[in-house]
Structure 1
Amino acid sequence: MTTDDDRSNGWEGVAQALIAGRSRIGVATVRTWAQALPVGGSILDLGCGTGVPVSEALIDAGFGVYGVDASPSLVAAFRRRFSRAPVACEPVEDSAFFNRQFDGVVAIGLLFLLSGPVQGRVLRRVASALNPTGRFLFTAPEQECTWPDVLTGRTSRSLGAKAYQEILASAGVAVVGSYLDEGDNYYYDATRPTIRDEIDEAV
């Protein structure tokens, strides 16, 4: 498969390494974030990979998880582990997100793998896939920067906190908090403001 043909941003080429072992760093952060969601709510995991550890932690907590990943090998591993969880093998930027909305969306270790314009498009599409009180958790460095991905060698790119906040705000979603996990990964917690929030802000 050539670079031009690989719609998984290099992850299909390193899929076996990911299947063999995946760090559990960040699981506690995801679990903490999920406590704000409705019990048994629906969560879309973008860049779900094999489903370990993020989807696994959410499924174990009783949530209905839907996965999207562009790597056929990783999606096959996800299906083997979680046969009852819907999963689509497609790039997140082209995904229909199962033609529905969700109580929560997570994108862990994904967004910065995409180009700047594609990141913006994905963020706006995620905003439209959130229920009125839905929440969105994603990782990217707080600062604007680029670096080579350790596994794929491809360039990763963070747009920086200010840009992420502005893009989401333009789609009606506000960054309301952040987390730093045990691996020093930075998480953005975003949600649609409620009517009460908007009234309080106006006052």
Structure 2
Amino acid sequence: MDKSNGYEAHAATFIRCRSKGIDGVGATSVRQWATALPPNAVVLDAGCGMGLPVTRALLDAGATVYGVDASPSMVRAFRQNFPDIPVACEPAEDSSFFNRQFDAIIAWGLLFLLPEKKQDVLIRKMADALVTGGKLLFTAPSREMKWEDAITEIESVSLGAEKYKQLLTESGLSLVEEFEDEGENHYYHAVRL
């Protein structure tokens, strides 16, 4: 069973599409979000892929980063790009990294790849792994919808803004803001109470 939701089979395509380094879609938004993190923040990049541009933006902001991705090919590329950063090859929702605490967690382009129940599980695990005042940033469309992923052609599911807000609240998080980037990715920024 492919725990990477089809991304292992399409890793080369994804890597080619996202290999714009520090200037890829979302990089500016992640860099701006990272400016509000405490100095030397410890951050988990859930669904880190090859680490570009999200991990790079976090490192540039002075964060200590951990990565997790279920695609072995993505993890190999991540290790080539960032040989000194801990990265685990496992599904984010099953990650052993959730046995520790983080100042912040980011899940860029990940949540909607998972079925609804796994999205719920992952949001709760991310919330539990945040220190008090810790920040969560994830992307998912604001509308409730289903579509075929452009790369894998596997169904993606957005639960919609109201459901995500409900899950955040139930998990002990408070929504700080929602915004969109230049690629029309919708962001949810929450903080642990």
TM-score range, shorter chain: over 0.9
Which residue in the other structure is 2:144 paired with? 144
1:188 to partner: Cα distance: 0.2
Which residue in the other structure is 2:56 paired with? 56
1:98 to partner: Cα distance: 5.5
Which residue in the other structure is 1:189 paired with? 189
Aligned CA-pair RMSD: 1.0
1:121 to partner: Cα distance: 0.5
Percentage of identical aligned residues = 52
Secondary structure of the structure 1 residue equivalent to 2:142: coil
Correspondence list, 1:8-23, <5 A:
8-22=4-18
Q: Which has the larger radius of gyration?
A: 1
Aligned residues between the structures = 189
Correspondence list, 1:125-164, <5 A:
125-164=125-164
Correspondence list, 1:1-203, <5 A:
5-22=1-18, 24-97=24-97, 99-193=99-193
1:99 to partner: Cα distance: 2.3
1:16 to partner: Cα distance: 1.0
TM-score, with structure 1 as normaliser: 0.90
* Contact 2:79-2:87 within 8 A present in 1 as well: yes
Secondary structure of the structure 1 residue equivalent to 2:10: helix
**AA partner of residue 90 (structure 1):** E
Secondary structure of the structure 1 residue equivalent to 2:73: helix
Can you list the C-alpha shifts for 1:13-32, whole angstroms capped at 9, x where unaligned?
11111223415011110011
TM-score, with structure 2 as normaliser: 0.95
Secondary structure of the structure 1 residue equivalent to 2:176: strand
CA distance in 2, matches of 1:36, 1:81: 25
Structure 1 segments unaligned to the other structure (5+ residues) = 194-203
CA distance in 1, matches of 2:170, 2:15: 37
